[in-house]
Amino acid sequence: MEKLLFIVLVITEIVFAAWTIKKKTSKKKWSISRTAANAAELLVYLIMLILPGIDFSFRFKGLFILLVIRILISVIVFAVSRKNEKSKKSSRIVLGTVFGIIMIALSMIPAFIFRDYTGRPVSGPYSVAQSRAILIDETRLEENENDGSFREVPVYFFYPECIDELDEESLPLVMFSHGAFGYYESNASTYLELASNGYIVVSIEHPYHSLFTKDTTGKTITVDPEFFAGAMDAGSKSEAEVYGITSGWMEIREADMNFALDTIIHSAETGELGDEWFLTEDSEDAFTKILSGIDTDNIGLMGHSLGGATAVTVGRREDVSAVIDFDGTMLGEEIGYENGNIIVNPEPYNTPILCFDSESHHADRVLAEETGYVYSNNVIMDNAAEGYSVYFEETAHMNFTDLPLFSPFLAKNLGMGDRDPEECIDKINSITLQFFDRYLKGIGDFEIDGKY
């Protein structure tokens, strides 16, 4: 529908230009007609709001603002030129039309890039509420700042809205870590599915690794250019160089997750919100209820890409009961590089673990087995007491997030397969729920096929 809206607006611009050139209108009459044309374009947009795919979200907000501003400008031009009877030059009309079309196109970029995505249906009986806080780790300085500030870890909670009314004494906690350039909502459909079924889900952000986030001052923190460049150039570096870079990334991410986990567990068990918690005054009561509802004996971790690697290594903790890796190479399990080879942690992996793979990632794992290449995922899954691997045919890396649903354009450029994205994420979420039900709630058995 956004294409239809764009075409209608472009046709309006062209028709207006052709009509005014043919009539050889004066500047005064042109400004009147321009105001009418701008008003007509705004009216077209407002009428098309009744159609599916056209709305007043951020996707079209820029267009709305542009159309309103153009009306105001044309009114001002009329006020200035109301006595000007000179003919409007054709060249200026053409240039104005071209500029107008360009401005409309630019204002509609979000509508072309992003879909009208409102989430996936959930299977659970509970409505889901959300709350946000920032945890301040006073044991670590923020390496990306030079003002002596401490490392901050934003945390986003998804939980049953009626958490203080549930019959159960407490609910399992599941913590999620996003991938490189990701952000806390990258797998929102998964959080909502779990929360609707009686889980408390916490999505943590890794500042300077996430696309953007906010700190305690309200400042927007964007991805670190050095981290971005390192991730994009990894394919051109030697294995030793890559290990030297990624081990630093994993150290930061693992410290973030361990700190968030320790802080939340401590507050849940003591009922105290310490100095680590940065909250708005009106959210303290909400967090008291949330934290009191956490079952600290049943904790799950999950993550996508680098976040999956983070979850796997932190998942070695004795207080973690289950781990899910969404298409992540287990970089945290690479503990050294010697004699031209990566050294992978050889210790048994005792936490039940589920590993989702894209088709290409699965092929890499198979090739590593056939050639004898020491690949961290294969080593860990071979050493897992309870390990499950599943790959999805016709998928790529971003199919294990909500991005293909929210922005197919971006997902295709970052890696999306031909699999139907809605069917794919729904199946992933269903398996995720089944896995955590088994290992965090003790409900049913867990059996899956090797591929879907």
pLDDT computed for residue 146 by the predictor = 85
In CATH terms, 128-441 corresponds, of 3.20.20.70, 3.40.50.1820, 2.160.10.10, 1.10.287.10, to 3.40.50.1820
pLDDT computed for residue 446 by the predictor = 93
Smallest CA-to-CA distance from 320 within 240, 402, 254 is with 254
pLDDT computed for residue 38 by the predictor = 82
What stretches in the chain show pLDDT beneath 50? none
Q: What's 50's DSSP letter?
A: T
pLDDT computed for residue 75 by the predictor = 76
C-alpha angle 378-380-381 in degrees, rounded to nearest 5: 65
Q: Are 301 and 315 in contact (CB under 8 A)?
A: yes
pLDDT computed for residue 86 by the predictor = 63
Q: What's 224's DSSP letter?
A: P
Tokens at residue 343, please? 């050294």
Pairing of strands 294-304, 334-338: unpaired
Rounded percentage of the chain residues whose pLDDT exceeds 70 = 94
pLDDT digits (tens, 9 = 90+) for 375-388: 999 999 999 999 99
In 73-187 the beta strands, taken as DSSP E runs, fall at 128-141, 150-160, 171-177
pLDDT computed for residue 129 by the predictor = 94
pLDDT computed for residue 14 by the predictor = 82
Distances (CA, A) of 337 to 119, 243, 376: 43, 7, 12
Phi, psi of 347 (to 5 degrees): -70, 145
| SS3 letters across 262-306 | HHHHHHHHHCCCCCCEECCHHHHHHHHHHHHCEEEEEEEEEEECH
> Which helix (H) or strand (E) covers residue 164, if one does?
none
Count the Cβ atoms, other than its own, within 10 Å of residue 213. 21
pLDDT computed for residue 56 by the predictor = 75
Question: Domains of the chain: which residue ranges?
Answer: 2-113, 128-441
